[in-house]
Amino acid sequence: MSRTPDTWILTAQSPSRLGTVDVVTRFLFEQQCYVTEHHSFDDRLAARFFIRVEFKAPAAFDENAFRAGLADALGPFDMQMELTAPGYRPKVVIMVSKADHCLNDLLYRQRIGQLPMDVAAVISNHPDLEPLARWHGIPYHHFPLDPHDKPAQEARVWQVLQDTQAELVVLARYMQVLSPELCRRLDGWAINIHHSLLPGFKGAKPYHQAYQKGVKLVGATAHYVNNDLDEGPIIAQGVESVDHAYYPEDLVAKGRDIECLTLAQAVGYHLERRVFLNANRTVVL
């Protein structure tokens, strides 16, 4: 569900306690805020509660007073909360290598307003996609990777993230393994996309390997980055059926489409504050 442009977003999480839904909705009612969307989830195994509310604020709305009052109301429940203003557009940096399909899709969705973000820069270890970024008016940083000095390249990447004040990093088919140090820094605010084929095919040309095994499903997984390669908390997955008539090039084409859709879905969920980290899992409301 897409967000309406005039709503605030309130997200919060806390230990599971009686009255968690009531304290949030009652406060909004007392502040004369009209709830337009509400989702909550209580994880009984983790004993953790999650809530996301979109609401319209009254004309005389004091954000600072609202935040202070909300913090007081949620304090006894040990709630961690976040408030996002209408029209807020986070700064995003996209990292790519040579494949252009995910980058092109994200930039198009930004341009037509489907993804409420401002792409502040594109970073790549290859020069190939600079014309695409420049066409969209976005700075392109080509940082070649020296296998003997990977920290130097990642230091330049980190500097761009700091200079642009990026709040989200999207690895749109960035075909390099990030160092443990950079993964630690990006924990919870970097999204990666990769193919999901059964059985798992690693290395070069996974779709050609899949063809040799006669796969019947092709998919993609979007997840947060952590130090476990392609095993971070999953945000979104896509899958479609294929059959014996799909040659390697057909599988590649199908995979590109699913990767684009799945990555865009995951980025959209993140931008709309729908994703909560819950240990190594996610709650998507």
DSSP structure class, residue 236:
E
Residue in the block written with tokens 């599988």: 251
Q: Which residue among 43, 230, 250, 257 is the active-site one?
A: 230
Round to whole Å and give the CA distance between 215 and 207.
Answer: 9
Long-range Cβ contact pairs of 17-26 (< 8 A, separation 24 or more) = 17/49, 17/77, 17/78, 19/77, 20/49, 20/51, 20/77, 20/79, 21/51, 23/73, 23/74, 23/77, 23/79, 24/51, 24/53, 24/74, 25/53
- Is 207:252 a contact under the CB 8 Å cutoff? yes
Q: Respond yes or no: is residue 230 known to be catalytic.
A: yes
What are residue 141's DSSP bridge partners? 123
| Per-position DSSP letters for 159-202, written without gaps between them | HHHHHHT-SEEEESS--SPPPHHHHHHHTTSEEEEEEEESS---
Rounded to 10°, the helix 248-271/101-111 angle is 40
Round to whole Å and give the CA distance between 167 and 18.
Answer: 33
- Write the burial class of residue 87 (CB in 10 Å: 0-12 exposed, 13-18 middle, 19+ buried): exposed
Helix, strand, coil abundance in the chain, percent, nearest 5: 35, 30, 35
Rounded to 10°, the helix 63-74/20-30 angle is 150
- Is 62:80 a contact under the CB 8 Å cutoff? no
Q: Return the active site residues.
A: 230
